[in-house]
């Protein structure tokens, strides 16, 4: 990134301009559903006893510049990544090998694996699987003179969120950059990035590109629903898609963007939301003696006569151990897994998204990529491999490279230690790593992986409007997510798979303060952002 771009971005504004911009964003977000239910730390239970309030999602006031070439590389890799993870989830034996050492020390993964084995023993009755993925990246710039490269932070196979709100952020920033006229924005001062000032060194898109995340994600649910086909109930019940959500979900408007899209484009497909605590009371599976095909029957709580056969369960919950705080939650996961509904994701696909799998994939001895992607060109595999940051196993004993780096206070400075968890707030960074490891037994090391820290551009800046209305400005780090979906047919025990749909479409940019290690928006670390693609003359 040329120093000149960040030196002048975001452009300087007067207090009046900033107030106008912030007020416009506050009003636009509410009007257009770029919203969240407020965290009690922002609006106390006392002031919001009936939980009626919503506020703007944390959002940047300006889109962030992003190198076009890196964005296109991420887009190009998505369908390859989709296929890779479909292949991993289909290879039960390989995944079982990876899980073997983890289940010894990680009860959460052990319980998930146990459910898979129980359902396998009984016999799976659905051979379609749906993946709705998000591959997350950061730009890597090891020193200011090098051009940025793209490095993957993680690949998400469960509850990949923010597609719904990301589309709206793009719409917001596009409007701010182009209203009332693309050559003259009221909200943003002239700048080469908006194509409203000239620059010899920058070619820019001028405003955020169209974001297709909602269409991509909703279409995957629709295709899966249609692929379920014949009813397994007699007489046949109408069919529906279930959105499985957390009790007290605050990010529901992001989810509703998908269900609303299905309602407007495919009115005949009902979608319903079910909180985890209600799975066992609002859904049922007929006894095997009565109906061995195990349809999942949903009874609407507001109308006991409204009964549906569930075609797809879309998990926006049950990815974190804290959600399994009762035996009923585990029973509910088992209940869904053994049903005939198409799971997004199945337990095998959920486990394929483990950090450990991502670490094992970086290994070149043996190289697993060729095995999972036998038809992919060498050039594409090289590009995929180039998107990996170095990662190390922590399971190979005290003399192994991973353990040696993690325990060395100097080397640990450039690394992050990750457990097999999702949703933010679980990692251990830099100098905390050796101290942390000394506090646990060596036997437990293997539940972690060690990853080299990606070094994002050092000069990036932006301004964010927090959900409590505060405006914060400063040095930032952005993380790009690309959405992709895959629907395939396979049988547990066989590595054969038949891909029915493989699609890429839509992006998320999350931007956080430079001094924050973690990146989750829901966890309160980041703001939603969008991007403007640019190229720099060399």
- CA-based end-to-end distance of the chain: 11
- 92 versus 479: smaller Cβ distance to ligand ADP: 479
Contact predicate 314/290, CB 8 Å: no
Among 318, 412, 416, 504, binds ligand ADP (CB under 6 A): 416
Among 91, 92, 154, 215, binds ligand ADP (CB under 6 A): 154
Q: Is 456 helix (H, G, I), strand (E, B) or coil?
A: coil
Is 68 catalytic? The answer is no
What is the DSSP annotation of 137-181? EEEE-SSTTSPPEEEEEEEE-S----HHHHHHHHHHHHHHHHSEE
Q: Which stretch binds ligand ADP (CB under 6 A): 170-178, 237-245, 404-412, 416-424?
A: 416-424
Distance CA 484, CA 500 (A): 14
CB count within 10 Å of CB 461 equals 16
Q: Which of 92, 309, 337, 422 is catalytic?
A: 422
Q: Which stretch binds ligand ADP (CB under 6 A): 367-375, 399-407, 424-432, 457-465?
A: 424-432
Is 259 catalytic? The answer is no
* Strand spans (E) along 340-470: 342-344, 391-393, 415-419, 428-429, 448-452, 461-465
Residue 418: name its binding partner from ligand ADP, Mg ion, none (Cβ under 5 to 8 Å by kind): ligand ADP
Contact predicate 60/464, CB 8 Å: yes
479 belongs to the binding site for ligand ADP (CB under 6 A): yes
- 59 versus 449: smaller Cβ distance to ligand ADP: 449
152 belongs to the binding site for ligand ADP (CB under 6 A): no
Instruction: Give the footprint of Mg ion on residues 118-157 (CB under 5 A).
Output: 154
Q: Which of 154, 212, 249, 479 is catalytic?
A: 154
Q: Which of 423, 424, 425, 524 is catalytic?
A: 423
Closest CA to 189 of 312, 36, 14: 14
Is 104 catalytic? The answer is no
222 belongs to the binding site for ligand ADP (CB under 6 A): no
Q: Which stretch binds ligand ADP (CB under 6 A): 61-69, 289-297, 414-422, 499-507?
A: 414-422
| Phi, psi (rounded to 5 degrees) for 388 | -85, 140
Is 422 catalytic? The answer is yes
Is 423 catalytic? The answer is yes
418 belongs to the binding site for ligand ADP (CB under 6 A): yes
Is 123 catalytic? The answer is no
| Closest approach of ligand ADP to the CB of residue 138, in Å | 6
What is the DSSP annotation of 383-406? HHHHTPPPEEES-S-TTSHHHHHH
CB count within 10 Å of CB 54 equals 18
- 34 versus 480: smaller Cβ distance to Mg ion: 480
Record the tokens describing residue 113, joined without a space: 């694996």
Give the number of residues in contact with Mg ion, rule: CB under 5 A.
1
Is the backbone of residue 159 left (phi > 0), alpha (psi -120 to 50) or beta? left
531-536 and 64-67 strand pairing: parallel
- 173 versus 418: smaller Cβ distance to ligand ADP: 418
Is 396 catalytic? The answer is no
424 belongs to the binding site for ligand ADP (CB under 6 A): yes
Q: Which of 82, 135, 160, 161 is catalytic?
A: 161
Distance CA 246, CA 158 (A): 13
Site string for Mg ion, 150-169 (x = CB under 5 A): ----x---------------
List residues near Mg ion by CB under 5 A: 154
List residues near ligand ADP by CB under 6 A: 136, 153-154, 389, 416, 418, 422-424, 426-427, 451, 453-454, 479, 517-520
Active centre residues (catalytic): 134, 154, 156, 161, 355, 418, 422-423, 510
């Amino acid at each position: 990134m040329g120093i000149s771009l960040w030196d002048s971005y975001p452009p300087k504004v007067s207090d009046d301009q900033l107030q106008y911009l912030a007020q416009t964003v506050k009003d636009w977000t509410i009007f257009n559903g770029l919203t969240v239910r407020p965290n009690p730390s922002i609006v106390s239970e006392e002031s919001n006893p009936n939980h009626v309030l919503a506020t703007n999602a944390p959002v940047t006031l300006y889109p962030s510049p992003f190198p076009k070439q890196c964005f296109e590389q991420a887009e190009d890799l998505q369908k390859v990544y989709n296929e890779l993870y479909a292949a991993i989830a289909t290879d039960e034996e390989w995944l079982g090998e990876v899980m073997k050492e983890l289940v010894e020390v990680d009860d959460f993964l052990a319980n998930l694996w146990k459910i898979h084995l129980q359902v396998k023993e009984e016999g799976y009755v659905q051979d379609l699987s749906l993946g709705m993925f998000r591959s997350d990246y950061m730009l890597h710039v090891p020193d200011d003179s090098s051009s940025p490269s793209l490095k993957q932070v993680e690949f998400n196979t469960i509850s990949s969120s923010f597609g719904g709100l990301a589309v709206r952020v793009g719409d917001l920033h596009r409007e701010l950059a182009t209203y009332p006229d693309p050559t003259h924005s009221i909200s943003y001062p002239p700048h080469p990035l908006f194509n409203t000032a000239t620059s010899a060194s920058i070619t820019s898109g001028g405003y955020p590109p169209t974001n297709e995340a909602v269409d991509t994600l909703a279409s995957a649910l629709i295709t899966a629903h249609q692929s379920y086909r014949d009813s397994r109930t007699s007489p046949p019940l109408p069919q529906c898609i279930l959105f499985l959500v957390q009790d007290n979900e605050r990010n529901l408007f992001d989810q509703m963007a998908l269900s609303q899209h299905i309602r407007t484009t495919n009115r005949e497909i009902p979608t319903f939301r079910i909180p985890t605590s209600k799975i066992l009371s609002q859904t049922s599976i007929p006894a095997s003696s009565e109906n061995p095909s195990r349809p999942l029957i949903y009874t609407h709580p507001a109308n006991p006569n409204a009964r549906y056969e569930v075609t797809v369960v879309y998990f926006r919950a049950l990815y974190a151990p804290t959600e399994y705080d009762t035996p009923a939650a585990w029973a509910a996961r088992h209940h869904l897994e053994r049903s005939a509904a198409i799971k997004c994701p199945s337990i095998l696909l959920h486990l394929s998204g483990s950090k450990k799998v991502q670490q094992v994939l970086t290994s070149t001895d043996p190289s697993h990529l060729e095995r999972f992607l036998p038809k992919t060109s060498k050039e594409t595999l090289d590009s995929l491999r180039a998107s990996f940051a170095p990662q190390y196993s922590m399971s190979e004993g005290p003399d192994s490279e991973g353990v040696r780096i993690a325990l060395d206070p100097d080397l640990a400075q450039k690394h992050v230690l990750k457990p097999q968890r999702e949703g933010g707030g679980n990692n251990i960074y830099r100098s905390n790593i050796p101290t942390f490891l000394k506090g646990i037994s060596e036997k437990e090391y293997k539940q972690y992986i060690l990853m080299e820290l990606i070094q994002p551009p050092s000069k990036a800046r932006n301004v964010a409007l927090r959900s409590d209305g505060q405006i914060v400005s400063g040095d930032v780090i952005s993380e790009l997510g690309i959405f992709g979906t895959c629907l395939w047919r396979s049988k547990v025990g066989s590595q054969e798979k038949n891909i029915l749909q493989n699609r890429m479409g839509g992006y998320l940019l999350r931007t956080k303060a430079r001094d924050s290690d973690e990146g989750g928006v829901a966890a309160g670390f980041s703001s939603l952002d969008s991007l403007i693609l640019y190229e720099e003359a060399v």
